[in-house]
Amino acid sequence: MSISKVKLFLWGLLGFAAVVASSQIPLNGANAFTQYDDGLFAPLEDLSRLSDLHFTTFGHPAFPGHSIRMKRSESAFCDKTVKSYTGYIDKYNHHIFFYFFESRNDPDKDDVIFWTNGGPGGSSSLGLFMELGPCRIVDEKQTKYHPESWNSNANIFFVDQPVGVGYSYADYGDPVGTTEEAAKDIAAFVAIFFQNFSKFQGRPFHMAGESYGGRYIPLFASAVYDQNPRLIEAGLAPINLTSIMIGNGLTNILQMFDGRYKMACTVGASTQVVDIQTCVGMKQALSRCERWLQASCYDTFDDVACQAAFSFCSSAIDGPYEITGKNPYDVTKDCIGELEDTICYPIVSDIVRYLSRKDVRDQLGVDSSLPSNFSAIGWDVNRAFTLHHDELRPSYLYVAQLLERGVKALIYVGANDWICNWIGNEAWTLDLEWSQQEEFNGQVLRDWKVDGKVAGQTRSAGGLTFATVLGAGHMVPYDKPKEALELLTRWLSKTEL
């Protein structure tokens, strides 16, 4: 049965006109309109007006190359206590899939969170079904309610980005290979959504992610912030970008190598996992690694020399740890399964099988042209970013600029993570050059507690907060869901850790 396409355009104060279904539609202030099958037009006032049978497509003339397809999820997918939605961000031949869940508390007033997993190439279904989403995978047949979900007090997006990740796809080639390019699509998506659903306008908006999100989020948030003057000039509501949140992020690769050595060989970890002779070799190579990276990737960016430096560091520092068979995301655990398939966690295989089911895909509105087997990691995307040396760019500079403009930053790290460790993350926050660096560095690490028990250490000043989470690895909400939710709740409520 064919699915009727519904076009929705919000007409702002831009002086544009457009043709929808071969009819010229006059401008009408800032109202949003849906064209129904009978040819009549009516304002779309709320997400609940979306259909659960087909997508509604909406856009904005300020972003002529982008549109959003969105639908309600039948039977309250994943969390029956809230309304949920799925859709695609469309840009010509690119189509980026997302989930949206309303807050369990007060969806009409609560903040909005954008979440992305890392990789590059990691599907945000991992964040949804394994970590901080409103349900968790039980097995390939079912999910269960997750009481410590981050939608407990916030509306939240989970986005499979860029194209080629999860359910996202391209009609033909043209892969995305840099974070700068990916940021353009995300900024357009955020603007179109907030302009079409005015009840969210002015709400505090937080952009969050983990792992390679340490690269994504600073650039995505900067693109959203820098877009605001354009929206204001057009008479549209700016996005109230309030904060960024980065969990176990890869924000400065240079300092991460020092942390990896220390996590494997010194008291940086709860146990030393590499033998003495190998650790001595790692230590001897570390200074050369750091000097080479600094000169080739940071002082100046020499494409060939930077890649050579990175390859040397990876071989000398990462190689010895990888051959131990330990979990790179948690030094206290062994890797279970093949890293490329399960990222050391068997639950990932359950997520893959669940999202490969036809009934699940049909319920979510997944495009039928996609291969039937879901992939948690888009390896083509990963290779494209690697070819562009994207991870070697200095993302921390964007964090400094956001802080100077009043956008707060929470950098939280599971203390057991090796690959994006707390040592490297603490180091770049201390080295960050911004107007309140001295005040931030003057704060000593202190304990933060949950239910009277120490949950980690933290320091905070001037909008920047660094926090560790004890007993957690790379994916903090998976290992410590209660502490992760408490961390988020205090952050949103502006309560000190």
For the chain, how far is it from start to end, CA to CA, in angstroms? 54
Tell me which H or E stretch contains 225: helix 213-233
φ, ψ (nearest 5 deg) of residue 12:
-90, -155
**Given 66, 146, 206, 474, the catalytic residue:** 474
CA separation (Å) from 342 to 337, 349, 351? 6, 6, 10
For the question of residue 211 being annotated catalytic, the response is yes
For the question of residue 388 being annotated catalytic, the response is no
CA separation (Å) from 167 to 21, 159, 344, 383? 28, 10, 22, 18
**Given 125, 417, 460, 479, the catalytic residue:** 417
Residue listed under structure tokens 């002082």:
299
β-pairing, 56-59 vs 6-10, is parallel
E runs forming strands in 161-275: 169-170, 205-210, 241-247
Helix (H, G, I), strand (E, B) or coil at 53: coil
- Token pair of 50 as six digits: 């979306």
For the question of residue 299 being annotated catalytic, the response is no
Pick from 213, 91, 195: which is nearest to 477 by CA? 213
CA separation (Å) from 248 to 138, 165, 417? 25, 20, 8
Length of the chain: 497
**Given 211, 222, 375, 460, the catalytic residue:** 211
- Point out the residues that are catalytic: 211, 417, 474
